Amino acid sequence: MIFDDLRMFLKKCEEDGDLRVIEGADWNLEVGTIAELAAEKFGPALLFDKFEGYPPGYRVAIDLYTTKERIAVAFGMPRDIPKLELIKNLRAKEFTPVKPVEVKTGPVMENVYEGDAVDLLKFPVPIYHEHDGGRYIGTGHTVITRDPDSGYVNLGCERVILHDRNTVGLYISPGKHNRIIREKYWKMGKPCPVAMSFGPEPVLYLASALHIPWGVSEYDWAGWMRKKPVEVIKGPQTGIPFPAYDEIVIEGECLPPEVETREEGPFGEWTGYYAGGRQLEPVVKVKALYHRHDPILAGVPPLKPPLHNFGAPIISTPMVWDDLERAGISGIKGVWQLEAGGGRLITVISLKQEHIGHAKQAGLVAAGGHGGGYMGRFVIVVDEDIDPTDVNDVLWAVATRCDPAQSIDIIRDCWGTRLDPMVSPEKRAKKDYSHSVAIINACKPFTWKDQFPKTNRASNELRQKVLAKWGDKLNFL
């Protein structure tokens, strides 16, 4: 099922019994805390309405992607699809760009405000965590820019804080495509034109968080995944195309730091900490605001792992797998980025060893690729009999097949961010956010893997034989 907008997705969740409507909650901490409590129980998506001081119908949708089942539905797949099958379906092995289609108007243009009429305070933007430094309007959103050199349109998911009625703050980690594009404009002495959509349909949001290669627009990837082009409107203020079926969209300019900055943060981040602190960051001056009747603000507030946005490993893991195969690494049976690491910090690769050094080669590629390089802390390589999505299976392999003195390599000066809780105060002062990565070879030693002790698990053949004989008496299994 293709979802043209967020409302269609929420309707499907409701039909599946996977949505709850909550009325009268306070945007100040109550929304965020309820979302956290629900995520701990792998609960339903939540739609908040009837905020005090706001018109009924000005809503906030939370916990959209905190279960594998809702992620599968968002991509039009069966709810019960196994994790690795989902990942295989999301890999871009046969990717053919499906370009967006420009339309004159769409539902997002039901309400149009320009200049002094812009007022972002009309929306019940939450404070999600107790120590957050403000109201974050951008968590389940997408930030859209256009490269001034090539003209390619990039979509990214970078946090956006609400400063006042027509000003937001935009933090982008070093190395991210939107940051590279933004700095190109600044070097020309110009502000960076930008559009932001705060209620995108699921595939477009998830695409914006993917590690899609430079030069490939997330619009093209989303259209390919949807098997239907994304309908976009050419921004009247910036010329940047934004989704016609979005809930809330703004257009504006991100000013160079020498023109204006404001304090941004702290924010409860995806690592489970407030590591980024409070710093001066660039601002976006909003020139125009567009929104639907009864608008829905999409919220994907970071939660302490493993709760944070189950979509994180789903959307990042396929790119790591693609990186491995593009580099010529054969024998890959599965790739997963463990939820305990926020979907980025711990990458697990399952492979069938074909030659000496095979496991280390795979680990090095994953650590250095775009998909697994950002904030990766550990790369664990395991044999094909290990399920990379099962943390206990992975740790069993580490505990029984890894010799710490021989099987762990450390790589230094890797791609990091100020959100890393392990960056020391001294390094922060120098804006040095680099970190180290451990590559852990938890495979059987290649030179004597055939002599490695057998596991004491019943073979699949024996299991099937026993189940065939005793199945009617083992209905508890």
Question: Is the pLDDT reported for residue 343 higher than 90?
Answer: no
Angle, helices 311-326 vs 358-368, to 10°: value is 120
Q: What is the pLDDT of residue 242?
A: 98
Q: What is the pLDDT of residues 446-471, one digit of tens each?
A: 999 999 999 999 988 999 999 889 88
> With 90 as the cut, is the pLDDT of residue 263 above it?
yes
pLDDT tens by residue, 312-330: 677 778 889 988 998 999 9
Task: Read off the amino acid at residue 194.
Answer: V
Work out the pLDDT band at 297, boundaries 50, 70, 90. very high
Q: Which residue has the tokens 């989902």?
A: 86
Write out pLDDT tens, residues 191-246: 999 999 999 999 999 899 888 889 999 999 999 999 999 999 999 999 999 999 99
pLDDT per position as a tens digit, 191-205: 999 999 999 999 999
Q: What domains does the chain contain, in order, with CATH numbers?
A: 6-298 (2.30.110.10), 314-451 (3.40.1670.10)
Question: Residue 311: its pLDDT value, please?
Answer: 64
Tell me what the pLDDT averaged over the chain comes to.
93
| Mean pLDDT within 110-127 | 98
| The pLDDT of residue 312 | 67
Please state the rounded mean pLDDT for residues 12-28: 97
Predicted confidence at residue 473, as pLDDT, reads 81
Given a cut of 80, whether residue 43 has pLDDT beyond it is yes
Q: What is the mean pLDDT of the segment spanning 404-424?
A: 91
User: What digits encode the pLDDT tens for the residues 139-184?
Assistant: 999 999 999 999 999 999 999 999 999 999 999 999 999 999 999 9
pLDDT range class, residue 310, cuts 50, 70, 90? low
| pLDDT for 2 | 84
Instruction: Compute the C-alpha angle 293/242/105, nearest 5°.
Output: 55
**In the predicted structure, residue 271 carries a pLDDT above the cut 90:** no
Which single residue is written with the structure tokens 């968590």? 139
Among 8-22, 63-77, 280-294, the minimum mean pLDDT is found in: 63-77
Cis peptide before 318 (omega within 30 of 0): no
pTM listed for this prediction: 0.90
Banded model confidence at residue 92, pLDDT cuts 50, 70, 90: low
Q: How much of the chain exceeds pLDDT 70, in percent?
A: 98
Q: Regarding predicted confidence, which is higher, 230 or 417?
A: 230
